[in-house]
Amino acid sequence: MRLTRTAVAGLVTIGLALTTVTVVAPSAQASPCNATGLVGGDFGSTGSSGSSDIGLGSLDFGSYHAGGKKPQMPLVKLTSGPSQTVSWVTGPRSPAKTDARFSITSTDVGVPWDNGSGQVLMAFGDTWGRCQGAMVWRHNTMLRSNGDSDLSKGITFRDPQVGNIFSGASVTPAHPTFAQPMVNAVGVRNIEVGMIPTAGIAVNGVQYVSFMSIHNWGPPGRWVTNYSVLAASRDNGQHWAVDWNTARSNYELNIPGNSHFRTGQGRFQVSAFLRVGGWVYQYGTPNGRFGATFLSRVPASQIADIDAYEYYSGGVNGGWSRDSSTAGRVVREPVSEMSVAYNDYLKKYVMLSAIGLDVVLRTSPAPTGPWSNPRVIVSGAQTGGLYAPYIHPRSHGQMLYFVASRWEDYNVMLLRTDLSKVR
């Protein structure tokens, strides 16, 4: 069964009815700042930290009237442990000055991946920035960083340039310093209030990002998704198209002949990609930050074919099956947003995630495990709490570079960990 956009509207509201429905939004004006969506008078309940404490509106078209969150503070300095902060990646205090150059004053997530042609692309979650004198909200944004940046000095971005798919961001002639959103959500409270990126990868020159569709935000660290889905770009992130045939419903209804709703797909709402040879491994967790980690894989050339995925049953002697219901736990809960990469210094696979306010590291001799117990590499007592730690694809050797977000500043920072201190 191939899903159409209308069918996916049914995915969003499947908790209310099993029939396909189309959500019709109230009238709103197209914004000159936003080439791909609507801007109205209420930004609704947002916050990709996993908290619903921002806003009380019922619609979600992208206009943010408040003056922003708390001001971005100076970069915190870590006084003990194996890790150090390097620099802010986003915000007014970042060396890149993303507020002035890309209209990114506040944002989070910052999923980085190698685009295969010399750049590292970064996808961000809910984003605020000024346009026409107002603070405007976007569901997500993307920047292109320089692949040859000296990470010890921070992450750098080229200036945006209209029509240049290798410039720092996708912008329009009317607003050449306003990074455009990647994809938009339906934007109706308790139906779909956000589309948040969780993983990115390039395959054969095509960029793929896994998004989670947010039904509603709950208490910190808890949220409910409608589905996860891949979006693809064939022009280096200039334009994105959601591939609805890759949707994995959080509602496991076991509709006969329909892979999207099968038992097990709810275990892959938040993702991490790992390329090993001809395979793309996709790690997944349920919605929120309190579930276990599960594992699937697919031939890289078939990444957009949901029926080509195999699921690992877990354990040391686990096997692979095309049946998503057989996906077994490979890392015990709780696991938050995560990233996985091979490290040539440790000669092991490394997984970063967060437990509570701490960033933790696990290692494994193979993508399937067994994964070690978590080791705290950044204590929340020193930072006030970080989330969404993503390994930078240019990170090699003894120093492990990664980005993470801090809710208090609502921005992304770059950190590094001396792996000789965690062996």
Structure tokens at 358: 């701490």
Q: What average pLDDT score do residues 238-247 get? A: 97
The pTM of the full predicted model, rounded to 2 decimals, is: 0.90
Q: Tell me the per-residue pLDDT of 338-372, one tens digit each, with 9 for 90 and over.
A: 999 999 999 999 999 999 999 999 999 999 999 99
Per-residue model confidence (pLDDT) at position 342? 98
Check pLDDT > 60 for residue 45. no
3-state SS string for 228-254 = EEEEEECCCCCCCEEEEEEEEECCCCC
Task: Read off the pLDDT band of 51 (50, 70, 90).
Answer: very low
State the chain's mean pLDDT as an integer: 88
Cis peptide before 173 (omega within 30 of 0): no
**What residues have CB less than 8 Å from 64, skipping those under 6 apart?**
43, 128, 134, 135, 136, 137
> Do residues 269 and 285 make contact, with C-beta atoms less than 8 angstroms apart?
yes
pLDDT above 80 for 17: no
3-state SS string over 277-327?
CCEEEEEEECCCCCEEEEEEEEEHHHCCCHHHCEEECCCCCCCEECCHHHC
Residue 67 has pLDDT above 60, yes or no: no
Token look-up 């956000």 returns 194
Domains in the chain, CATH or no CATH each? 5-421 (2.115.10)
